[in-house]
Structure 1
Amino acid sequence: MNLLNVDIASAGYENGKPIIHNINFDLKAGELIGLIGPNGAGKSTTIKTILGLLEHKKGTVEFKQGVKYSYIPERPIFYDELTLWEHLDFTAAVERLPEIQYKKRASELLKEYNLSEHAYKFPGTYSKGMQQKAMLILAMIAKPDVYIIDEPFIGLDPNAMKLFLESIERERQRGAGILMSTHVLDTAEKVCSRFLIVHDGQLKASGSLDDIRQQCDLLAGSLYDCFHQIAEGNDNEK
C-alpha cells in the first residue's frame, strides 16, 4: 500500500530556477527508503518540496488520504519558552491524543531515550545529541503513518544511534513508511529497503541495493561503491 506518491518534474526556491528535476518514487507501508546524495545534490530541496514548503514546483506530491506524517529536521527546532514536557503537551493537543495513552507513551519514550530527568528543562539548554533525541520523541509521540527524516545521525553517539535504529525498526514493523536522508552509507546499506541516489538535482539511480548495483554495473559493489561511481561519473561529464 502506497502511503506517499512523489512525481516532481521540477522545484526550486525561485521562479524559473529549479534545483531538482524528475524526482519520482513511492513510499509503501513498512518501508524505509534512504535518500542518498552529496551536499548540494538536492536532498533537502526534495524533502521541502514533499512537505509543501516550496512555492515554485511542477509535479505532484500525494499522501494517501488520512495519512499523518512527522518531519524530523536536520537541525532541531524548539520553542524557547517551552520545556520538553510542554512541547509534548502541545503536540498531544494539536494531534488530539487521548491524555492517558499519550502520557504513558511519552513517559516510555523519555525513559527509553534517557531524558526523563530533563523533561522539565528547556531543550535549548540540552546538548546537540539530547536535542536530536528530543526531536525523535516529539516525532514518535503521535505514531504517524509516515516519517520524513533529514540526517538523523548528526549529533548522536553510537548508543543513541543504535536506539534510534531500533525505534524506527519498531515503527516499520508497525507499518509506518520512512523516508530518510543520510550521509552514513554503511548504516543505510544495512537498514534501508530501497534507495534514491540524487546527484546534481536529479534521480540517478533507485531501487534495492541489487537494483542499484545492476544500474551501476557493480554486481558485488557496496552502496558506497555505487554512490561513488555515480558521483564520479557525473562529475567527469562536466
Structure 2
Amino acid sequence: MSAAAANVLEIQGLTGGYSLNKPVLHDISLSVGRGEMVGLIGLNGAGKSTTMKHILGLMTPHKGGIAVDGVTRDKDPERYHAALSFVPEAPLLYDEMTVREHVEFTARSYGVDRADYEARSARLASLFRMEEKLDTLSGHLSKGMKQKVMIMCAFVARPSLYVIDEPFLGLDPLGIRSLLDFMQELRREGASILLSSHILSTIENYCDRFIVLHQGKVVAQGTLDEMTAAAGRPGLPLEQLFYELVQGGK
C-alpha cells in the first residue's frame, strides 16, 4: 500500500478560494494518517476554514485534489461524505428541535443502528453533562451547550475522519477536557482527526503532528520535535514556535 493510500485524508497541490482571480490557498499538500490527530494552526485569515470547506465539498478546488479514505468527492460523493464528520466553529442547530432529536437525526443520516445510537448518545450525554437537557429545545440552550450538541452529533457517528474547527469556543474547562480525552479515545480506536484551534498550549500535548498555515501556504508541518529541529530551536513550545514562524523568524 502506498503512503497516500494509507492516509485517511490526502490533499495534494490544493489551490482554491472564493475567487478564481484571488485564491486563498496556494498549492497546499497535507495528510492525516489513520489513527492520527493533526493540529491545523494559523492566524485568522491563514486559510484554515477555507481548507476545511474544501474538504467538506462546500468549495470547489481551482487546482489539486482531495481524497478521504481513498475516494474523491467527484468519483463517489456518497461514500466520500459518509467517511467524514464535521464540528463547525459556530453551532448550527434547529431552534424547534430538542437535543435528543438532533442527535437521533444525525445518527439516522449516518445509518447508525438503534443499539449503537442508544449507547453512544447516552455516553455522550453523560460525558458532556447534557442528560438533563436531552429534551430541551436547542433554542433554549446557552452557546456552550449548543456547541456540546454539535459535538455530540459529530461523535454519534463513527466515520473515518473528523474535521473539527475551533471546538473549544464556549466550552467550560470540564467540557474542554472531556472533549480532548474523548478525541484521544477515538484516535486510539483508529479514528483520524483534523483539529483547528488557536489554543496552542492546550492541543500541544494531544496532537501527533501539526500543520502551520500562513497566508494560504503550508510553512511547516510535522511533529513538534521535527518542526523545532528544522527551525533550529529544539525544545521550543508550540506557541513560541508558531509565533516565530508566522512573524518571519526561522
Please indicate, yes or no, whether the TM-score normalized by the shorter chain is above 0.5.
Answer: yes
1:168 aligned partner: 183
Q: In the alignment, residue 159 of structure 1 is paired with which amino acid?
A: L
Asked if 1:13 corresponds to 2:18, the answer is: yes
**Cα separation, 1, equivalents of 2:201 and 2:163:** 20
Shift of 1:8: 3.6
Secondary structure in 2 matching 1:154: coil
2:33 aligned partner: 28
Shift of 1:124: 2.3
Q: In the alignment, residue 21 of structure 1 is paired with which amino acid?
A: H
Unpaired runs of 5+ in structure 1? Answer: none
Moved more, 218-227 or 146-155: 218-227
1:137 aligned partner: 152
Asked if 1:197 corresponds to 2:202, the answer is: no
Asked if 1:216 corresponds to 2:228, the answer is: no
**Cα separation, 1, equivalents of 2:167 and 2:64:** 27
Kindly report which structure 2 residues correspond to 1:28-177, keeping only aligned pairs within 5 A, or say none.
Answer: 28-64=33-69, 65=71, 68-177=83-192
Residue by residue, what CA displacement relative to the aligned partner does 1:60-88 show, whole Å, maximum 9, x if unpaired? 00011556211000001112221111112
Secondary structure in 2 matching 1:86: helix
Which of 201, 214, 226 aligns to 1:186? It is 201
Residue by residue, what CA displacement relative to the aligned partner does 1:201-228 show, whole Å, maximum 9, x if unpaired? 1100000001111222211211112111
TM-score, normalised to structure 2, is 0.89
Q: Alignment identity in percent?
A: 38
Moved more, 209-218 or 194-203: 209-218
- 8 A Cα contact 2:96 2:138, kept in partner: no
Unpaired runs of 5+ in structure 2? Answer: 1-5, 72-78
Shift of 1:158: 1.0
Secondary structure in 2 matching 1:90: helix
**Cα separation, 1, equivalents of 2:143 and 2:234:** 39
- 8 A Cα contact 2:14 2:63, kept in partner: yes
**Cα separation, 1, equivalents of 2:62 and 2:95:** 33
- 8 A Cα contact 1:32 1:177, kept in partner: yes
**Cα separation, 1, equivalents of 2:23 and 2:204:** 30
RMSD: 1.4
State the number of aligned residues: 234
Secondary structure in 2 matching 1:130: helix
**Deviating runs (4+, > 4 A) in structure 1?**
none
**Cα separation, 1, equivalents of 2:146 and 2:161:** 21
Shift of 1:3: 0.8
Q: In the alignment, residue 75 of structure 1 is paired with which amino acid?
A: A
Moved more, 115-124 or 95-104: 95-104
Q: In the alignment, residue 124 of structure 2 is paired with which amino acid?
A: L
2:243 aligned partner: 228
- 8 A Cα contact 1:48 1:54, kept in partner: yes
Residue by residue, what CA displacement relative to the aligned partner does 1:79-106 show, whole Å, maximum 9, x if unpaired? 2221111112211221222112211221
**Cα separation, 1, equivalents of 2:91 and 2:13:** 27
**Cα separation, 1, equivalents of 2:120 and 2:168:** 23
**Cα separation, 2, equivalents of 1:33 and 1:119:** 31
Secondary structure in 2 matching 1:4: strand
**Cα separation, 2, equivalents of 1:113 and 1:80:** 20
